[in-house]
Amino acid sequence: MSERTDGRGDVSEPSSTAEDGRSAGDPLLRVENLQKSYGDETVLRGIDFDLDRRDVEVIIGPSGSGKSTMLRCVNRLTEFQGGTISLDGESVMAMNENELRRRVGMVFQDINLFAHLTALENVTLGLRKVLDMSKGDAEDKAMSQLERVGLAPQAASYPAELSGGQKQRVGIARALAMDPELLLFDEPTSALDPELVGEVLEVMRDLADGGMTMLVVTHEMGFARRAASSLMFLDEGKIVERGPPEQLFDSPERDRTREFLARLTTISEEA
Amino acid sequence: MVLSSASPLVFDPIAAQALPLEWLPPDWQFVVRNWDYLAGGLGVTIVLTATSILLGFLAGFPMGAIEVYGSGPLKRLVSTVGVVLRAIPIVVILVFMFFVAPIPFPSGEFGMWLPGIGSFDIGLSAFAAATVGLGLRSAAYQAQIFRGALQSVSGGQMEAARSVGMSKLQAIRHVIMPQALRRSIPGFQNEFTIVLKDTSVAFAIGLAELLKRSYDLFVESTTAVLEVILFISILYFIMTFVTNRTLDYLGEYYAIPGGEG
């Protein structure tokens, strides 16, 4: 936890001015002038930001602002029309998409556990088919990931036998097992009953504390305050404001940011 | 009394000859005495159902997958072939396959043996034409069953599989297909029943299956039409019932715990 707090301090300066100020080598993720449209509808209108290793970026914004689309451009689940995204200095467009996705894990809003497989098999499938691990090795590794999210006792359960929160923790274990360099979270708690949100956020906080690089679309402001090294407010396909969470919460530069955060906070306090 | 409790499928023809049949009405005696001949037809029907369903599955599953995941000329070709096959009456397809299609079907007879039925001969050229005709038509219908089942698996399953780095083919094979096959069992059950009963259409190209052989019988003894037809109806019913229950069992056995899927 103390380590993360230090990390946050480093990022606060350069993040507001985007590119400059970085010292050692390339950022893990660099997004430059990212543009995406579906037909006539423009979703992303030039997004620029860097994400360093061990950083946790929380992305907020109204629905339709392009948050999920941006996330899905990073692992090429969706194609984009303009700009570049680089992972560790290499353009994602130049990479084999399967290799890219092995390196960039994703956790979904609707979880999408493989319905016909047990929790353990959900985690081992990628290990066996993508990394060609033996059954025994894959199971050992999968068990350790399930332990990490506190679900080792449920290894033999099928998704339909798990609660929403447990399912999403398996979803996280499945992504973690591939040893990703970057984890994408697309509203991981939005589909969960309120009382199940906490257990998922706890796992995510542990990951952040452990130094995992994360790009998280969420409106859980408690998580943003505690775990984010940087907060990004996206609206109409553009970054309205980006900075350390305290700065955006306490003294946002833009009125639009203030309004949105005020509404978010009211909603979460009511809930 | 022994006779009345015996199922036709395990009926022993030699014992039947030895049994006194006088207590049966004459037309039923006729049916029982000709069990041997009908049993051969039953064997042909069973084997033809199996080969047609198998061909239908081997061609139909990829066709369904191409309709869901394919694109371009291949997808158009598959869906056009499917529409054409579904639009033509099965009698026409079989007659076409046997008399018109330039396929060099093998000729001669093929001896087979099935438990409870004994040995019987299959006329190869009519059998092959019937298998191709029924099999391709079934492929067109099975393709729709599998297309529906594949489409019913949520897009999120594919995305989740791809986002751990699996290729599209790996995702289809290890994630989508196992779920789709489970969901296709009810539709497949229907198709199985239809193919089983439609093997009787091979009558039109002279294949000595169950209906053709019963026709031979009641042409010989015209008073026994009702008895022969009733008897083979029971046989069709038993086959349909047994395959349906078997597929029910398969569906339960492979059901995903917790009810999803």
Query: Counting Cβ atoms within 10 Å, is residue A262 exposed (0-12), middle (13-18) or buried (19+)?
Result: exposed
For A48, phi then psi, to 5°, come to -130, 125
CA distance B156 to chain A (A): 6
Q: Are strands A90-91 and A82-87 parallel, antiparallel or unpaired?
A: antiparallel
Closest CA to A97 of A124, A111, A79, A112: A79
Closest CA to A121 of B174, B86, B25, B128: B174
CB contact under 8 A, A158 and B258: yes
Residue A95, CA atoms < 13 Å, CB-side half-sphere: 21
3-state secondary structure of B243: helix
What is the C-alpha separation between A190 and A238, in angstroms, rounded? Answer: 22
**Average pLDDT over every residue of A213-241:** 94
Residue B127: C-alpha distances to residues A21, B215, B242, B246 (Å): 79, 18, 23, 26
Question: How many domains does chain B divide into?
Answer: 1
Selected for mutation to probe chain A from B163, B168, B256 (highest A CB count within 10 Å) is: B163
Q: What is the ipTM of this complex?
A: 0.85
Please list, in sequence order, all residues whose beta carbon lies within 8 angstroms of the beta carbon of residue A220, skipping any fewer than 6 positions away.
A189, A197, A201, A268
- Nearest CB among B163, B182, B257 relative to A75 is that of B163
- Phi-psi region for residue A150, left (φ > 0), alpha (ψ -120 to 50) or beta? left
Please list, in sequence order, all residues whose beta carbon lies within 8 angstroms of the beta carbon of residue A260, skipping any fewer than 6 positions away.
A60, A61, A62, A233, A235
Query: In this structure, how many other beta carbons lie within 10 angstroms of the beta carbon of residue B50?
Result: 14
pLDDT over 70 (residue A110): yes
- pLDDT tens-digit series, residues B226-235: 999 999 999 9
Any domain includes B135: yes
Identify the pLDDT of residue B16. Answer: 56
Selected for mutation to probe chain B from A107, A116, A124, A184 (highest B CB count within 10 Å) is: A116
Beta strand segments in B79-197, E? 109-114, 118-123
| Three-class HEC string of B202-223 | HHHHCCCCHHHHHHHHHHHCHH
Please give the radius of gyration of chain A, using alpha carbons only, rounded to the nearest integer.
Answer: 18
Residue B125: C-alpha distances to residues A69, B104, B106, B120 (Å): 59, 9, 5, 16
- Nearest CB among A111, A114, A161 relative to B258 is that of A161
Contact residues, chain A, for B178 at CB < 8 Å? 116
CATH number, domain of B35, equals 1.10.3720.10
Contact A102, A178 (CB under 8 A): yes
B165 touches chain A (CB under 8 A): yes
Any domain includes B50: yes
CB contact under 8 A, A75 and B161: no
Tell me how far the alpha carbon of residue A98 is from its chain's centroid: 18
**Does domain A2-270 fall into CATH 3.40.50.300?**
yes
The percentage of chain B sitting over the pLDDT mark of 90, rounded to a whole number, equals 75
Contact residues, chain B, for A174 at CB < 8 Å? 160, 164
Please list, in sequence order, all residues whose beta carbon lies within 8 angstroms of the beta carbon of residue A130, skipping any fewer than 6 positions away.
A98, A102, A178, B164, B165, B166, B170
CB contact under 8 A, A161 and B257: yes
Residues A255, A260, A262, A263: is their CA dihedral positive or negative?
A: positive
What is the C-alpha separation between A161 and A153, in angstroms, rounded? Answer: 13
Any domain includes B69: yes
Contact residues, chain A, for B260 at CB < 8 Å? 115, 158-160
Query: In this structure, how many other beta carbons lie within 10 angstroms of the beta carbon of residue A117?
Result: 20
CB contact under 8 A, B165 and A102: yes
Closest CA to A178 of A30, A75, A67: A75
CB contact under 8 A, B156 and A112: yes
- pLDDT tens-digit series, residues B56-98: 999 999 999 999 999 999 999 999 999 999 999 999 999 999 9
CB contact under 8 A, A98 and B157: no
Nearest chain A residue to B158 by CA: give it. A112
Contact residues, chain A, for B257 at CB < 8 Å? 158, 160-161
- Nearest CB among B160, B174, B179 relative to A112 is that of B160
Contact A257, A240 (CB under 8 A): yes
pLDDT over 70 (residue A172): yes
Nearest chain B residue to A132 by CA: give it. B166
pLDDT over 90 (residue B260): no
Give residue ranges of A with CB < 8 Å to any B CB.
Answer: 75, 77, 97-99, 101-102, 105-106, 108, 110-116, 125-126, 129-130, 158-161, 171, 174-175, 178
CB contact under 8 A, A175 and B154: no
Where do the structural domains in chain A lie, given as residue ranges? 2-270
Any domain includes B261: no
Which tokens in the block code for residue B38?
Answer: 């009908």
Q: Are strands A182-186 and A214-217 parallel, antiparallel or unpaired?
A: parallel
Identify the pLDDT of residue B15. Answer: 57
B168 touches chain A (CB under 8 A): no
Contact B214, B45 (CB under 8 A): no
Query: Counting Cβ atoms within 10 Å, is residue A118 exposed (0-12), middle (13-18) or buried (19+)?
Result: buried
- pLDDT tens-digit series, residues B126-160: 999 999 999 999 999 999 999 999 999 999 999 99
What is the C-alpha separation between A170 and A157, in angstroms, rounded? Answer: 11
CA distance A156 to chain B (A): 11
Residue type at A67 in one-letter notation: K
Any domain includes B259: no
Residue type at A113 in one-letter notation: L
3-state secondary structure of A110: coil
CB contact under 8 A, A115 and B256: yes
Domain that holds residue B209: 2-253
CB contact under 8 A, B261 and A130: no
- pLDDT tens-digit series, residues B16-43: 556 677 888 888 889 998 999 999 999 9
Identify the pLDDT of residue A164. Answer: 95
CA distance A153 to chain B (A): 17
pLDDT over 70 (residue A256): yes
Average pLDDT over chain B, rounded to an integer: 90
3-state secondary structure of A229: coil
B156 touches chain A (CB under 8 A): yes
pTM reported for the whole predicted model: 0.82
CA distance B167 to chain A (A): 6
What is the C-alpha separation between A236 and A118, in angstroms, rounded? Answer: 40
Which tokens in the block code for residue A263?
Answer: 């509404």
Which tokens in the block code for residue A64?
Answer: 């339709």
Contact residues, chain B, for A99 at CB < 8 Å? 165
